[in-house]
A and B are shown apart, each in its own frame.
Chain A
């Protein structure tokens, strides 16, 4: 997958799960303050991303530092690169 394809899959998966307006999904958007997610949503976000990319990320410490959509993009791109 290209970087753009990974980002598109992330954004489309999150948009569907959390019924987000794609226009609001700019990279600098804070997932809590701007996109309105909460702690329950972050549990589901992990499951959605695990399902979309077929990897396991639940135990990753880095997830807890995620604040923006760009953080998610970076995190997932790194995991995808690790898994080849």
Chain B
């Protein structure tokens, strides 16, 4: 499909495993876990999950008040990650206001924490007289994208795809397509989310949250493992700067990877239960878009969240696509499920694997579930130099998405 080649030149990360591209890669290679017991979750009636992968060590007050007042926590994460990405890319400041630079960043919802605080006050007397001016800007669906554009002076296209766990994979794909089509020269893209008990509850009520490892936080989640019992919710933001390759090269930017394929599809078999055929079709379309075959893949970064059904379906789809020839791992065991940020954080991590020449194994995958078998599961880190990587994200609502990237440093 590509009319213009599109490359990644900057990465920003706010994650349960540290802030910045390099700290994230170091922690993943070392097999660290960002999952913690959150004692306050005991206070939420009916919630069985006590685990989360929280972001720590962020002081929102490092952001000037007038920029921060319209930001909830997720926008704080997205803004800080965007700054990191622009700095890493050494992106010219004057290009931000050229109209040729855009933002495609989404979240699952507007800020649930802000929403909760507002309604807790509102329900006291049903009065709006205490409603402050920043409320709407934190609640709106495009809060992260708008806050990034406003705070950084970006005047091109601003979009906020929202597709739950597929959000940032879609955001990267849409940014890639817009640059490839010549509509923008560069786009900050990705996703952000903030942890709230309601997020954990959403999965818990569907019996899809991990509840058996509350006393052993680092043992959950367990993608593809026989003893997996569900998702652990996380939070954070991953932001990539995509640029038109010719312009990036002309300005002497360091190219981190090239985006070569994207597909997103709707699985109408169920709004909640993933379908193997639909997953397979999405990956096949992405390969078609990239103009490559599955045999050319060097690594697949799976969505695999550690749920009973989702992992089985994805494993079967990958098996049918690539058999047992392509190494596969999921990073949810390290990072939890960072929701709308998971695609962009995990794709960034995959780029890190390209640069380090080492694939990160699936944390907590001790005994592969037979129903997830037939794959080249990574249970230990593997030192190889991947050239082409396929990244999946599948979301509630029947949303599938796949991005394919290629290394440019080991031609």
- Chain A interface (Cβ < 8 Å from any Cβ of B): 18-19, 36, 38, 40-41, 43-44, 47, 50-51, 56, 58
Complex interface: stretch among B107-115, B130-138, B217-225: B130-138
B82-135: which have CB < 8 Å to A? 129-134
How many angstroms between the C-alpha atoms of A77 and B311 in the bound complex? 66
Which secondary structure dominates where chain B touches chain A?
loop
Q: Which of chain B's residues have a CB closer than 8 A to the CB of A18?
A: 65
Q: Which of chain A's residues have a CB closer than 8 A to the CB of B65?
A: 18-19
- Chain B interface (Cβ < 8 Å from any Cβ of A): 61, 65-66, 69, 129-134
How many angstroms between the C-alpha atoms of A50 and B134 in the bound complex? 17
Q: Which of chain A's residues have a CB closer than 8 A to the CB of B130?
A: 47, 51
- B129 pairs with A38, CB closer than 8 A: no
What are 14 A-B contacts defined by CB distance under 8 Å? A18-B65, A19-B61, A19-B65, A36-B66, A40-B69, A40-B133, A40-B134, A41-B133, A43-B132, A43-B133, A44-B133, A47-B129, A50-B129, A51-B130
Residue of B nearest to A56 (CB): B129
Residue of A nearest to B130 (CB): A47
How many angstroms between the C-alpha atoms of A56 and B133 in the bound complex? 17
How many angstroms between the C-alpha atoms of A18 and B132 in the bound complex? 13
How many angstroms between the C-alpha atoms of A51 and B66 in the bound complex? 21
A80 to chain B, nearest CB (A): 19
Q: Which of chain A's residues have a CB closer than 8 A to the CB of B61?
A: 19
How many angstroms between the C-alpha atoms of A40 and B69 in the bound complex? 10
Residue among B66, B131, B132, B134 making CB contact with A38, cutoff 8 Å: B66
Q: Which of chain B's residues have a CB closer than 8 A to the CB of A40?
A: 69, 133-134
Residue of B nearest to A36 (CB): B66
How many angstroms between the C-alpha atoms of A51 and B132 in the bound complex? 12
A24 to chain B, nearest CB (A): 14
How many angstroms between the C-alpha atoms of A84 and B66 in the bound complex? 36
Q: Which of chain A's residues have a CB closer than 8 A to the CB of B69?
A: 40
Find the residue from A18, A40, A43, A51 having the highest chain B CB count within 10 A.
Answer: A40
Find the residue from B66, B130, B131 having the highest chain A CB count within 10 A.
Answer: B66
